[in-house]
Amino acid sequence: MRNVCALFKREFASYFATPLAFVFIVIFLILTGAFTFFLGGFYERGQADLAPFFNYHPWLYLFLMPALSMRLWAEERKSGTIELLMTLPVTLWQAVLGKFLAAWAFAGVALALTFPMWITVNYLGDPDNGTIVGAYIGSFLMAGGFLAVGSCLSAATRNQVIAFILTAVLCLFFFLLTGFGPVINVFSGWLPQTIVDALASLSFLTHFTSVAKGVIDLRDLLYFATLIVVWLAATAIVLEMKKAD
């Protein structure tokens, strides 16, 4: 635990050592705002809730989360610090976990800084704050899912751009489109319903949407927890296999 803490601290601080933290947070806030007010029609809907804000999170995360996760391991490999890290008395699991938690906590900070949105909607009307809290939790969990996938793909390469693209593409096809209405409709035309349902149940979208409605179901939480653990385990396996490449 001490080691995870030390690794977490170092990694978390490293986001702020470069303009990355600042750029990321500013872009994140601008985009969430733009999506909410322009695409989501926050005012025009005339409803006091944050649905137009949260609805676009999966699509925003699709390219913002890989930008956070791409450096996790690719940079260690490229700069050779992976050799330093792996010869310190830390286990592979501590390293994988410490780094992932740092990225996740950073995403959490960015998400938390959207609080003016929540204040706005409370000022304008009388929203269901329980639903909003649920949606925040769901969004945070989904960010963790993206980051865990990104951690694994970052471990597989020394090139951050490749890590970014692979993560975005994989998440798009396996975790977003599989739960996206129009795509499901196309597939249900020529695939058995059970397979379509199975695919949809693996999707971030399906689980995020249900949590974002304010229904915190144990199955959705379990889905994200399992997903994160599985992808972190895959990260450790990939690192173990090709530590020195």
Partner 1 sequence: MIEINHLTKRYGPLTAVDDISFQVAPGEVLGFLGPNGAGKSTTMKMITGFLAPTSGSIRVCGHDVDSAPIAAKACMGYLPEGAPAYAEMNVRAFLDFIADIRELTADRRRSRLDDVIGRLALGSVLDQAIETLSKGFKRRVGLAQALLHDPPVLILDEPTDGLDPNQKHEVRTLINAMAKDKIIVISTHILEEVDAVCNRAIIIANGRILADDTPQQLAARAPSGRLDDVFRTITTQGAVAHA
Minimum distance of partner 1 from residue 3's CB (angstroms)? 6
Minimum distance of partner 1 from residue 166's CB (angstroms)? 24
- What is the end-to-end Cα distance of the chain in Å, rounded? 28
Minimum distance of partner 1 from residue 146's CB (angstroms)? 23
Residues at the interface with partner 1 (CB under 8 A)? 2-3, 5-7, 9-10, 13-14, 17-18, 79-81, 83-84, 86-91, 243-244
Question: Is there a contact between 212 and 138 (Cβ–Cβ < 8 Å)?
Answer: yes
Name the 3-class secondary structure at 8: helix
Count of CB atoms within 10 A of residue 116's CB? 11
Q: Can you read off the two tokens belonging to residue 11? A: 């990694």
Nearer to partner 1 by Cβ, of 94 and 235: the residue is 94
Nearer to partner 1 by Cβ, of 91 and 129: the residue is 91
Reported as half-sphere exposure (CB side, CA atoms, 13 A), residue 104 has a value of 22
Question: Is there a contact between 163 and 170 (Cβ–Cβ < 8 Å)?
Answer: no
Listing DSSP states for 142-159 in one string gives: HHHHHHHHHHHHHHT-S-
Handedness of CA 63, 51, 35, 29 (dihedral sign): negative
Nearer to partner 1 by Cβ, of 19 and 46: the residue is 19
Rg (CA), the chain: 19
Sequence-ordered list of residues with C-beta below 8 angstroms from that of 182, at least 6 positions apart, any chain: none
Minimum distance of partner 1 from residue 243's CB (angstroms)? 7
Q: Distance between CA 157 and CA 176 in Å, rounded?
A: 23
Nearer to partner 1 by Cβ, of 89 and 181: the residue is 89
Minimum distance of partner 1 from residue 7's CB (angstroms)? 8
Minimum distance of partner 1 from residue 105's CB (angstroms)? 17
Nearer to partner 1 by Cβ, of 10 and 213: the residue is 10
Minimum distance of partner 1 from residue 242's CB (angstroms)? 11
Nearer to partner 1 by Cβ, of 80 and 116: the residue is 80
Nearer to partner 1 by Cβ, of 87 and 194: the residue is 87
Nearest alpha-carbon partner for 92 in 203, 7, 28? 7
